[in-house]
Amino acid sequence: MESRNTNAAEVILISEAVLPPPGILTTCLNDLGESVQHWFLETGFPLPQSEAELANFTIEGWLEDLNKAMTAKSQYHWKNLISGDLESYQLIIDERARFGNIEVHRKVLLDMFLGAVKSCQAEGHSSLAEIISYQHSLFRRASLVFLAMTQSLERTINSWKDMYPSVGDALLSKRIQISVLQGAGKEYTFPKTTWNDEYIINHDDLNCMLSLKWLNSNLINVFISKLNAKFSHPNSQQCVAYLDTNFAYHYILPASKPHNTLKNSEGEIRSKPLKALKPRFENQNIRLIFPLNMNNTHWFVGLICRASSTMQIFDSLEGGSTNTQVYQTAYENMQQVWKVLVEAWSDTLSNHKQRWKLEIHSKASQ
């Protein structure tokens, strides 16, 4: 049953104020409202609050304002980095660390929104739940702009470090410098299995996970080897193969090699995970999963699923014509990979033309 707390103060979230009902929801929404406003203050993103702004609020106009704020911030970052002023350099390095804290706050807020919606639904406040869900969708949009801004900052710093390597190395945070010194020269070996070759990562690879740096291909390949390792036992009936970044680069995106080079001169498939999967290839539940990289800036995931006759893309930043072209390229190459496997391993499937469809899944990172 819907109810109102006439003694409660209005809570301003993103685009409208709500009057929380009595009980625990009052505290929950007050905390959420304060946290949302604090997050926008930290990012420097616009948050309409006055009655005049709310009356004229449109999602399109607001997103345009967010992107203007992001562009201005990116220009500020680059201007400081090329200024020649050491204090300005340090400000940008500190900004990277600050963005890391904002990112943690962002993830907490996403959970708070979901919790608030569930609480409203559980107590029968369906109208309020709809409002909070709408506010949640707006926050997710702002989240994507923030993620784009952090990626832009990282690319800006990396470009600057390439231009001025000695200055860049000197201005890394003390925490990272100490970490590098303590682990310099160390290597970590992940032994080969039936499904994977041996992988070696060093301390520089691990440092990619510090601050707002991104996972590199070495780290992703090690994670993939760990996924495959538990399926290397002969008695395992696992029907999923996780392919590494090298496979994806050579045969899916951008597909730097002809697909027929998947086979050696004897016609055998070269890839270890695929070779290990050969005895189970006729299984209806067969799936191939691999990491894909877009323009050397963004990772997403590809999946071939025989049971549903789908080739799927999972991308938290899905959208735009450029992305659509990339997905289509990956889709076409996935079909070519499947065709090579069928020709090599299955007389039954080679006589049956499978009709594939492309599915694209997008969800803001949480």
Cβ within 8 Å of residue 359, ≥6 positions away: 310, 311, 312, 313
Q: Note if the pTM is more than 0.75.
A: no
Number of other residues whose CB lies within 10 A of the CB of residue 247: 23
DSSP state of 50: S
| 263 and 130 assigned to the same domain | no
- In terms of residue numbers, what domain contains 90? 11-170
Residue 176 lies in a domain: no
Residue 284, judged by CB atoms within 10 A of its CB (0-12, 13-18, 19+), counts as: exposed
CA distance 86 to 243: 44
Residue 203 lies in a domain: no
DSSP state of 241: E
pLDDT band at 213 (very low <50, low <70, confident <90, very high): low
| 152 and 277 assigned to the same domain | no
Looking at the structure of the chain, the number of domains it has is 2
Number of other residues whose CB lies within 10 A of the CB of residue 224: 23
Which of 152, 170, 188 is a domain's end point? 170
| In the chain, beta strands by DSSP E | 11-12, 17-18, 187-190, 199-202, 240-242, 287-294, 298-305, 310-314, 357-361
Burial 140-177 (b: 16+ CB within 10 A, else e): bebbbbbbbbbebbbebbeebbeebeeebeebbeeeee
| 162 and 294 assigned to the same domain | no
CATH code for the domain in which residue 301 is found: 3.30.310.130
Give the rounded distance of the alpha carbon of 309 from its chain centre: 25
Cβ within 8 Å of residue 319, ≥6 positions away: 362
- Phi/psi at 290 (5° precision): -155, 150
133-186 pLDDT, tens digit per residue, is: 888 888 988 998 998 888 888 888 777 777 766 655 555 544 444 344 445 556
4-63 pLDDT, tens digit per residue, is: 444 445 666 776 667 777 667 777 888 888 888 889 888 888 876 544 555 667 788 888
Residue 189 lies in a domain: no
Residue 338 lies in a domain: yes
